[in-house]
Structure 1
C-alpha cells in the first residue's frame, strides 16, 4: 500500500458525511479533479462552515495531498454563495490550483451527484462512481482528517452541530464515543419534554429516542425536535403504516417524480411508480417497482412534494431492500441503459432552503446558527464502536484493564477487506472490549 494510503487507513479516516466509506480506498484511483463538498444543504447544520472558517488551511492541505495522490491537476470546493464570510476566508487561503464553486441556496445542492454535475457538467453513470468520470469527491472534514493523518494525528473527534430545542446551539469537536445526552447537555439541555433526536440532517437523518447512543466518526448533527413535530411524525411512522397509507391514499399525481432531483438529471428513478406498485401488491403491501432502485433517499418527495403527506422516499427505500432480497437488483449497465436526457426545467426546480425549512416546521430555529465553540469537556466514559465504517470492523488490540492514552490505536484494520483503524478518544482504563471498546477516563501521562 502506498505511504499516504497507509497513513490514512491507520489514521482511521472515513467519509465523515454519513456513509463512512474508508477514505484510503477513495484515494486509490487516478482522476483529473478532486472535489470537496462544502455545500451543506440540510437546514440547521453548520459544521462544514465552521470547519472551512477555522481549519481552511488544513482543508487545502488535505486536498493538495489528495490531488497529488490521485494525479489531479485541479481542486474545487463547492460552497453556497450565501456563505460570504466563509468564502472570504477561503479566498485568502486557496492555492492556485484550487478554486471555489459558488452554488445556489437550494436542496439538495450537497448531494454528490448534484455537486459533480454542477462542477463538471457530467453525470456520474447510473449505479457508478465519481471516479468513472474522472472525479474524486470527499467532504470537508474528511480532507482535514487526511491532512492530520499524514501528520501523525488519528481521528479521535468529530465536528458536530447541536441544534433545535436547546438554549445554546453550537458546533464543536466532540470525542468519539461520548453520548448524545452529554452533547445535548453542553447545549444547555432540552428546552421541553417529549423530544426526539435527529441523527444527521432533518431531511436524510434518522430519529432516535436513545440519548445514550455514542457519537461516531460519521456523526454530523444532533437536532433536538419535539416528538409531535412534522419531521418526527414522519420518521417515526412504521413501515407497515407507510405502506398501508400509501396504498390507500396515493392518487398518482406524480409530483414526487416531477420534483425528484435524480429524475430531473435523467436517472431512472420514478417514485410514483413505486407508490403505484403498492396499489397492485398483495396483502403485505410490499412494493417491487424497479423504478425505485436509483433513489438516493434525499426525502424531498416525502417532505416537500407529496400533497397527501405520504412517504414515497421510504417506500423506495423498502422497495430497494426487497429488490435485493428477491434478486431483482439491476446492474449499473441496466440502469445506465434507462438513463434519459437532463430535464430542461431542472435548474428551476431546486427547492430554496428557507422555504424547505418552513415546510419542515424549522423556521423558529433558523435565526440562530450553531456557531463554533471550543469544547474542553472530557467525558467520564466513552464507548467506541469498532464498526464505524463501511466494511469489516476494526479488530481490538486492547483488553480490559489496559491503560490507553488519547490517540492510541485500540482497533487495527481487519485483514482481507475494507477496514480502518480505531483510536482512543480519551486517556484512561479499558473497562470492556466487545463490539465496542469502553474506556473510563483517567489522567494518564501521555
Structure 2
C-alpha cells in the first residue's frame, strides 16, 4: 500500500454515502473517470449541498488527489439542477479536468448505477463494479474527507440532517459517536407524542426507537416521524407480515417491475417474479430478485396494493444466499437486456414522491445549517463503522484524549480503518465502543 492510501486508512476515511467501504481499498485501482456523487436523492436530506457549498475547495482538491491516485483523466460531479446555488458556487472553481453533470430531480438519481449511466452512457456490468468499466464513484463527503486526511485531519465529524416532527430542523457537522437523543435535542422539542426515528432517508433508511444509538461516519439523517405515518408503518412491518401481505394482496399487475430503475436499465431484476416466488416458493422466480438495489421505489411508490416488493426481494436474496443459489456475474450479465425505450419517461419526480410519502409538509421548512451548538458531553465511538474487520482499541479506561487522537487502529492485514476521538475528554469505557466523557466547556 502506498503512503497516500495508508494515510487514508489511518485517518479512518470510509464511504460516507451509506455503505462505509474503506476508501483506501476502493482507490487501489486504475480507472479513467472519477464521479463525485452529490445527487443526494433521499427526500428531506441536504447535507451534501451544505458540504459542497462550505468545503468547495476541499472537494475539488480531494477529487484531484483521488484522480492522481487512480490515474483518472476526468472528474464529474453529479448535482441536481435544482441545487443551483451549489452549481454556481462550484463552477468557477473547477479545473479543466472536472465538470458538473446537472441532473433532473428524480428518484433514485443518486444510485451509483443510475449515476454512472447518466454521466457516461455506460452501464456497470450486472454483478460487477464501476471499476470494471474504468470508473470510481465516491460520495462528496468522502472526497472532502480525503482532502482533510491529507492535511492530517482524521474523520471525527459527520454532516447530518435532523428533520421531520421537530421544532427547528437543521443540518450540522456533528461529532461521530454523539447520541441520537443529543442530536435531536438540538432541533428543539419533538412535535408529536409517539414517534420513530428513521436513520437516513425515508426511502432507504431504517427505523429505530433507540435514542441512545451513536452517530457513525456513515450517518446522514435522523428523521423524526409519527409512529402512525405511512413510512413508519411500512418500515415497522415484520418480515412475516410482508410475506402475508404479498401472498394475499399481490395481483401480479407488474407496476413494481415497470417502474423499477434497475429493470429500466436492462438489469435482470423483476420484483413481480419475486412476489410470485413468495406465493409459490419457486427458486427461478426468486432469482429475479438478486440484482435488486433496495431503492424501495416499488414499495413506497409503485405498488397499488400496499405490498412490500422490496422486502420480498431482500428476503428472496437471503434465501438464495443460504442455499448457495446466487447467480454468477456472468450469468447475470448474460440475462441483461437493452435499456428500456421508455426509461426517460418513467422517472419519479421527488416532489411527487414526497407527497406519496406524506413528508411534503416537512419540506416546506428547510433544514438550515446549524453552526453553533452546546459542547457535546459524551460520545460512543463504535469500532465497527465500516465494511470489514472492526478497529482495535489502543486506549485504556481513565486515559485522557484530544479530538483527533487515534483511539483504535485498523486491524492488521485486514480490510479495516482507524477510529479517532471526536471530542476532548476521558475514556470511561472500552468494549465494542469506546465511550469518552467530555471535558470541554
What TM-score results when the alignment is normalised by the length of structure 2?
A: 0.98
CA distance in 2 between counterparts of 1:127 and 1:370 reads 37
| Partner Cα distance (1:426, 1:291) in 2 | 47
Residue 9 of structure 2 aligns to a residue in which SS? helix
Q: What is aligned with 1:200?
A: 200
Shift of 1:26: 1.1
Q: Matches of 1:315 and 1:378 in 2, distance apart?
A: 44
The correspondence of residues 179-194 of structure 1 with structure 2, limited to 5 A, is 179-194=179-194
The residue aligned with 1:330 is 327
4+ residue runs of structure 1 moved beyond 2 angstroms?
Answer: 375-378
Question: Deviation string for 1:111-131 (max 9, x for gaps)?
Answer: 000000001100000111000
CA distance in 2, matches of 1:288, 1:339: 16
Query: 1:62-83: CA deviations, max 9, x gaps?
Result: 0000000000110110000111
Task: Give the structure 2 partner of residue 412 of structure 1.
Answer: 409
Query: Which residue number corresponds to residue 103 of structure 2?
Result: 103
Q: What secondary structure sits across from 1:92 in the alignment?
A: helix
2:391 alignment partner in structure 1: 394
Q: In structure 2, do the counterparts of structure 1 residues 245 and 287 end up closer, same or farther at CA, with 3 Å as the change threshold?
A: farther
Q: Does 1:302 align with 2:299?
A: yes
| Preserved CA contact (<8 Å) 1:281 1:287 | no
- Equivalent positions of 1:113-192 (< 5 A) are 113-192=113-192
Q: Give the secondary structure class of the aligned counterpart of 2:138.
A: strand
- Once the two structures are TM-superposed, the CA of residue 363 in structure 1 deviates from its matched residue by 1.1
Structure 1 residues 379 and 288: CA distance shift in structure 2, 3 A: farther
The runs of 5 or more residues in structure 2 that have no matched partner are: none
Displacement of 1:443 after TM fit? 4.0
Aligned length: 441
Task: Specify the SS of the correspondent of 1:225.
Answer: strand
Rounded to whole Å, the distance in 2 between the matches of 1:306 and 1:185 is 36
- How far is 1:375 from its partner? 3.4
Greater shift in the superposed pair: 230-239 or 362-371:
362-371
1:40 is matched with 40
Over residues 408-428 of structure 1, what are the superposed CA-to-partner deviations in whole Å (9 max), with x where a residue is unaligned? 001100012210000000111
Shift of residue 173 of structure 1?
0.4
In structure 2, how many angstroms separate the alpha carbons of the residues matched to 1:375 and 1:215? Answer: 18
State the alpha-carbon separation in 2 of the partners of residues 143 and 110 from structure 1: 16
The Cα offsets for residues 349-371 of structure 1, whole Å up to 9 and x where unpaired, read as 11000000000001111112212
Determine the structure 1 residue equivalent to 2:429: 432
**Residues 38-95 of structure 1: CA deviation (Å, up to 9, x unaligned):** 0111110000100011111100010000000000110110000111111110112212
Does the CA-based 8 Å contact 2:276-2:285 persist in structure 1?
A: no
Q: Distance in 2 between matches of 1:341 and 1:9?
A: 39
Q: 1:375-414 deviations in whole A, cap 9, x for unaligned?
A: 3432211111000000000000011111111100011000
Deviation, 1:145, is 0.2
C-alpha separation in 1, matches of 2:284 and 2:132: 31
Is the Cα contact below 8 Å between 2:153 and 2:404 reproduced in 1?
Answer: yes
Contact 2:79 2:103 in 1 (8 A): yes
Q: Give the alignment's Cα RMSD to 1 decimal.
A: 1.3
CA distance in 1 between partners of 2:226 and 2:100 (Å):
37
Structure 1 contact 288–322 (Cα < 8 Å) conserved: no
Q: Is the partner of 1:257 in helix, strand or coil?
A: helix
How far is the alpha carbon of 1:372 from its aligned partner?
A: 1.4
User: What aligned pairs does 1:255-404 form with structure 2 within 5 A after superposition?
Assistant: 255-281=255-281, 289-404=286-401
Q: In the alignment, which residue of structure 2 is the partner of 1:87?
A: 87
Normalising by structure 1, report the TM-score. Answer: 0.97
Give 5+ residue unaligned stretches, structure 1: none
